Amino acid sequence: MAPEYGATMGFFPIDDETVDYLRATRRSQQHSTMYTNYYKAQGLFGIPSEGDVDYSVSIKLDLGTIQPSVAGPRRPQDRIEVPSLGAKFEELFSTPVADGGFGRDAGNLTSVKADVPTEDGSAPLGHGDVVIAAITSCTNTSNPSVMLAAGLLAKKAVEKGLKVSPLVKASLGPGSRVVSDYLEKTGLQPYLDQLGFNLVGYGCTTCIGNSGPLDAEVEKAILENNLVAASVLSGNRNFEARVHQNVRGNFLMSPPLVVAFALVGRVNIDLTNEPLGQAEELAKRLAKGDLIDSTDLFYNSLELPAFEKYPLLKLLKEHALANGAQAALMCGSGSTVFAICASAGEASALGQAMESCFGLFSLNQTVQLPGRFTAD
């Protein structure tokens, strides 16, 4: 790993935590004692105290100043803070190649678009659009916290009806079967699968060029329109043409950020101020007036914690569903619950049932909304 951060070698001090790990992984007491004594004799045991080592440079880092970052588009050391990625890509788009940019006409950044055929019709592809999204590399996938974060983000996205564009080639290639084990046990792998992050194997994949071919129509669109397409990956290396010979912008990032950029489908965006998506499927159904058919996509991430603190809200929702509501959901962070019924008559009957069960607590109001309320 030393070359990744520009060093000839890296030294990780051996201490009591290391020895505890040996014992926890069933090494014998004799082995652990011998290990400790050897490194103490070499003067290599424990983290050096201040003054024990004459360092040429001392660096102090305020952890409060650390910002989520990515690296790219051509070198692992080119750090970009996530809020600045969109602006940085736009800057690099017209920066001369000799200065690390793409040397394009700034006016073409948003004006050049290709219409790529897909199974469901077609999808647009332009400069800065993501065509490869890979959760890969043994180093980054060995951290359970970021892998679980990626799975949880995928879960939230699926529950909200978000999808990854069919133009994005997504994959999951962790460094160990242990990752698959805990993603399965936590129930998160199915959500990653639904977004296209299916398991392709274990070990090095995309960051050493094992990304495989793009969809033929996607590659054709990139070449014919001379597009600066992008890849997002949790690997270690992003040199141009290493990930894919026709993908010129390659950005290294954490696994949850890979999922996020796959969902949004482009890198010229500020994810700290712009949404990942607009719940396209829900929007399509509502635009058609299919309110009843949209209820399976309703979701409120604040419900569970609110229900734990205020169980009465949960009772209100359950009672509504048990008494004719097509759907029910907590509003915002509470303290109300709304229900959707197939007709004004059913809504009125539900209101009476709620008041009969909960009394004055269930002050309710029936509102007639436009749209189709009954199934065909």
Where in the chain are the domains?
1-60, 69-278, 285-362
Domain spanning 69-278 has what CATH number?
Answer: 3.30.499.10
Token reading at 357? 């069960």
pLDDT in tens, 97-109: 999 999 999 999 9
pLDDT at 367: 60
| Residues 229, 200: Cα–Cα separation, whole Å | 23
Token reading at 326? 């097509």
| Residues 96, 117: Cα–Cα separation, whole Å | 32
User: Domain spanning 285-362: which superfamily?
Assistant: GHMP kinase, C-terminal domain (3.30.70.890)
Token reading at 241? 């043409």
Segment holding 232, helix H or strand E: strand 230-233
The packing angle between helices 177-185 and 144-159, to 10°, is 40
| Residues 324, 331: Cα–Cα separation, whole Å | 19
| Residues 237, 283: Cα–Cα separation, whole Å | 38
Please give the share of the chain, as a percent, with pLDDT higher than 70: 89
pLDDT in tens, 262-320: 999 999 999 888 877 766 666 677 777 667 667 766 777 677 778 888 888 888 889 88
pLDDT at 376: 37
Whether 137 and 235 have beta carbons less than 8 Å apart is answered as: yes
pLDDT in tens, 25-48: 889 999 999 999 999 998 889 888
Given the candidates 2.60.40.1840, 3.30.830.10, 2.30.30.90, 3.40.1060.10, the CATH classification of the domain at 1-60 is: 3.40.1060.10
pLDDT at 366: 61
pLDDT at 5: 66
**DSSP category for residue 5:** G
What is the average pLDDT value for the chain, to the nearest integer? 86
pTM: 0.69
Region 326-338: mean pLDDT is: 82
pLDDT in tens, 217-228: 999 999 999 999
Q: Establish how many alpha carbons lie within 13 A of residue 236's alpha carbon, considering only the half-sphere containing its beta carbon.
A: 17
Ramachandran region, residue 109 (left: φ > 0; alpha: ψ -120 to 50; beta: rest): alpha
pLDDT band at 55 (very low <50, low <70, confident <90, very high): confident
pLDDT at 40: 92
